[in-house]
Amino acid sequence: MTTAAPFFAALAQRARACNSLLCVGLDPHPDQLPEPSAAAARDYCLRLIAACAPHACAFKPNSAFFEVHGAAGMQALAEVIAAVPAGIPVVLDAKRGDIASTAAAYARAAFDTLGAHAITASPYLGADSIAPFTARADRGVFVLCKTSNPGAGDLQLLPVDGEPLFMQVARRAPAWSQSDNIGLVMGATDVGALAQVRAAAPQLWFLVPGVGAQGGQLAAALHAGLRADGLGVLLTVSRSIAEAKDPAVEAARLQNEINALRKTNAGRAAPAAAGVQALAAALHTSGCVKFGEFTLKSGQQSPIYIDLRRLASFPAALHTVALALLPLLRTLSFDRIAAIPYAALPIGTAVALAGNFSLIYPRREAKAYGTRANIEGEWHPGETAVVLDDLITSGLSKLETIAQLQSAGLVVKDIVVLIDRSNDSAAALAGTGCRLQAAATIRQLLDEWLRAGAVDSSQHANVLRYIAAAPAG
């Protein structure tokens, strides 16, 4: 690898040159070796490198499986890195996390002593723990953001300033480098988080472990993580290649599968499309959308059921919803958001927190005590309120809310919903003089769920037929 090139420029150059986003993990588990020795670990990896080099965008040796063999193991690791053909980046999986001279020593060890081109690191100690790894533009660091292990949510989903901690990492980490040589580690086992971070960080490279043995689905991970240019995802695969009868054949198969999926995503990630993609993933992973046969309140049978009240139990999904609505709201002029009970109340709260908006909500029945208010929150006659709801089908609840707000002296010009599932939403609001905007249509979400494998083609077609047959308004 040419050291003069910025790391991610060199990575992109390699991806294009070999037409691959496959990162081959080099994890010489002791139980996979003929004997537990440094030499056996080295030889194990050298065979994989020779077999997979034509198909690999990068290699990722795991430092732990060499360190366990002591000084001889570290020498073996250096020999493994040196054996990777020139032009192929090596990402050292070491997950370092320390400060000052200790972090600087880790950086020298990884980049100078061992010869790696990038390293994985923990952000828990903050910006100064990452700085030594980003000091050289030709070397990169992948910061742990949302990982693939079962316990990832113990800390990574903790709420911080209205969003999960991993989103704070995604937003802050890029500013920790002056050379744009920071990427993120994003596990394939949480495609909702993957899509959410992609929407927030459209240009970053992601190192994506967890496909295969850990349960991550290749198609879903690529669909959630790919950038508009078909790059931006370094998909790490270790065990399925190493345990294959012919690692070269398995690496080639994975390369071809990845490339076929890249073609289906070509030109996909305009910012608006990325927002819809993140929204679709969040709604699916939180169980807010279900497919089957459901009896609706009207008595009709529906092949799809959307229950956005569940969002209150899923902070990460709720924040994704807020991010999907913010671009619409920021194009409007208003004084208050008026969220319709009940499903839109947690959505309205999340949006108000994310956008620093004032929230009110009309009660379904006026209070018979205290202030006897029928609109909760701070507001004044003559102010403009934008009506916010979870979805629109018949439009009845919107008409009732508009009338309630207007009778109190508020002005309503706009209605914003998360999902437009109506066959003709314009008809539903005819005569109100209000404009309707939706973060996504049901058709857009269905297409995303189909591409991500959440529904099959039969379910997709069945729901579309149901929507087309639904009465207008």
**Which residues are part of the catalytic machinery?**
95
What are the C-alpha distances in Å from 335 to residues 362, 368, 375, 414, 416? 15, 27, 15, 12, 14
Report angle CA 197, 199, 201 to the nearest 5 degrees.
65
Two structure tokens written together for 323 = 């991010």
Give Cβ neighbours of residue 325 (< 8 Å, ≥ 6 apart).
347, 351, 388, 416, 418, 439
Q: Smallest Cα–Cα separation from 378: which of 338, 322, 329?
A: 338
In 50-121, the DSSP E strands lie at 58-61, 91-96, 118-121
Residue 289 C-alpha from the chain's centroid = 18
Helix, strand or coil, per DSSP, at residue 461: helix
Number of H helices, E strands in the chain: 19, 18
Two structure tokens written together for 451 = 């591409």
Report angle CA 285, 286, 292 to the nearest 5 degrees.
80
Question: Phi and psi at residue 124, in whole multiples of 5°?
Answer: -60, -30
Helix, strand or coil, per DSSP, at residue 330: coil
Alpha-carbon torsion (84, 90, 94, 97), positive or negative: positive
Torsion angle of alpha carbons 54, 59, 61, 62, nearest 10°?
A: -130
